[in-house]
Structures are given as structure tokens and as C-alpha cells.
Amino acid sequence: MPAETTDDEDVVQPEYNQQATFVSHLVELRTRLIHALLGMLFVLLPLLPFANEIYAYLAQPLLIHMPEGTSMVAIEVISPFLTPFKLTLMLSIFITIPWIFYQIWLFVSPGLYSREQKIALPLISIGTFLFYMGIAFAYYIVLPLIFQFITATAPEGVAVMTDISKYLDFVLTLFFAFGLAFQIPIATFLMVKAGATTPEKLSEKRPYVVVGTFVLGMFLTPPDVISQTLLAIPMWLLFEIGLYASKKFIKPTQSASE
């Protein structure tokens, strides 16, 4: 005769399955984290010998506007080594963002429906592209305008000698702010897609959005009016792009039902 199962065994079996599933998720998460880290190291190691050249390239927007006879300075003892290394590390992370997102996708995609997978992958790709566009906009347009203004308005008798560590922190803050701000079309599209709002409601709130972009620009950028304005205006334009995309690609009944 087959052995009879007790009520306790019926309770233990689902708990065991849940624990096994949880452990398998942790193992998969560890695997994806290791792969992401290895990808970053794969990019970082070849770049380390060129750390000083990379920093010199990053400093060009400031150096070309500095008065003759002046240069950047390193106040802290370890700054000449640590600052270029920090920049190279951040650069390797920026470069491997697609690979990191791919690892995240491999981890979460099994739990998504097919219709969710169809929209998630394009949004991740577009979001990555927009992040890089934000960094490029900050480097090639915003930074030259900021440093041209700052060096031109320096009081007479004041030598502009920027610390290399402070400069890196300033630039990385701008890069992160503009990379994040360029995600606004994605955020707008997802809000409409999820049914949290509609394009018509967003259009009605446009004046508040414009004010909000300047407020966010104040918090996300260093405390100067130029960088705040140069961030707020693209944020507003990106909001309009996201609004247009939501009107074009999302049906009204679809946004309302989802």
C-alpha cells in the first residue's frame, strides 16, 4: 500500500518549493552581478594605462577657456593618481551600461509576459541611447558655455586655477543630471502606457511641467544659473517628445484600460 501523506507534509512541500525558488533567484542574481562586474573589468583594465589622457580629454572644455599662464591644480596629495583613476572607472561603467542592462534583462525577463517583453527591450535600448545623448550634450554644448562664462566673468586679479578633483565631481554631476533628464520621454511614455495619466491631461499641465523642469534643474545641477537653464530647456523639449510619442503610439482605449 502507498504511504499515506499527512497534513504536515502537504504544508511543508509548498514551503520547500518556495524556498527552492527563492534560492534559485538568488543564484541567478549573483550570476548576473558577476557577469556585469566582469564586463566592467573587461573595459576598465585596457583603459587604465590611458587614464591621464582620458582626463586631459575631459578637461578640454575648461582648459581651452582658461587664461594664458594658468593651469589646473591638484590640492590633495593623492589627487594626481586617484582622480584619473576615478574617471576611468566611471567611464568603464558608462561604457558597459548596455551590458549591465542586458544582465538585468536576463534576470527579469523570465517573469514578464510576452507583451511586456516586447515593449521592455525597445524602451531599455532607447533609454540607454538617450542617456549617452545626455552625456554628449553636456560635454559638447553645456560645459563649453559654462566655462566660457565663468572664466570671462572672473574678477580682475583672480587666477582661475581649478582643482582636478573638484572639476571631475562637477562634470560627473552634470553628466548624471543630463543622462537622467534625457530619460523624460521614456518616463512620460510609461506613465501614459500604464494609465496613470493621459496625453490630454499632460498637455493641460504643461505650465507646471515647465516650472518643474527649472526646479529639477536647480537640484540636479551645480549651483549656477547657466547649467540649470541648459538642463531645464532640454527637459521641457524631451517632455514634449515623450508626449508626442504617447499620442502617436498609444491608443486612448489602451492607455485607459492598462
Asked whether the beta carbons of 67 and 153 are under 8 A apart, the reply is: no
- Say what the pLDDT of residue 135 is: 94
Q: At what angle do helices 206-220 and 225-249 cross, to 10 degrees?
A: 140
Polymer length of the chain? 258
Give me the mean pLDDT over the 30-34 stretch.
92
Instruction: Cite the DSSP H helix spans in 48-183.
Output: 51-58, 60-63, 79-95, 97-108, 114-137, 143-152, 164-181
Q: Dihedrals φ, ψ of 5, to 5°? A: -95, 140
Angle 232-99-179 from CA coordinates, rounded to 5°: 5
Asked whether the beta carbons of 101 and 27 are under 8 A apart, the reply is: no
What are the tens digits of pLDDT across the range 230-250? 888 888 888 888 888 888 777
- Say what the pLDDT of residue 83 is: 95
Of 5-19, 53-67, 109-123, 202-216, the one with minimum mean pLDDT is 5-19
Check whether 252 has a pLDDT greater than 80: no
- Say what the pLDDT of residue 50 is: 96
Q: Which sequence spans correspond to the domains of the chain?
A: 49-93+111-257
Global confidence as pTM: 0.78
Of 16-25, 31-40, 130-139, 211-220, the one with minimum mean pLDDT is 16-25
Asked whether the beta carbons of 66 and 171 are under 8 A apart, the reply is: no
* Residue type (1 letter), 248: K
Supply 200's cell numbers.
Answer: 490630454
Rounded CA gap, 154 and 241, in Å? 38
Check whether 124 has a pLDDT greater than 60: yes
State CA 164 to chain mean position distance. Answer: 23
Q: Which residue has the higher pLDDT, 143 or 121?
A: 143
What are the tens digits of pLDDT across the range 171-191? 999 899 889 888 888 888 888
Asked whether the beta carbons of 29 and 107 are under 8 A apart, the reply is: yes
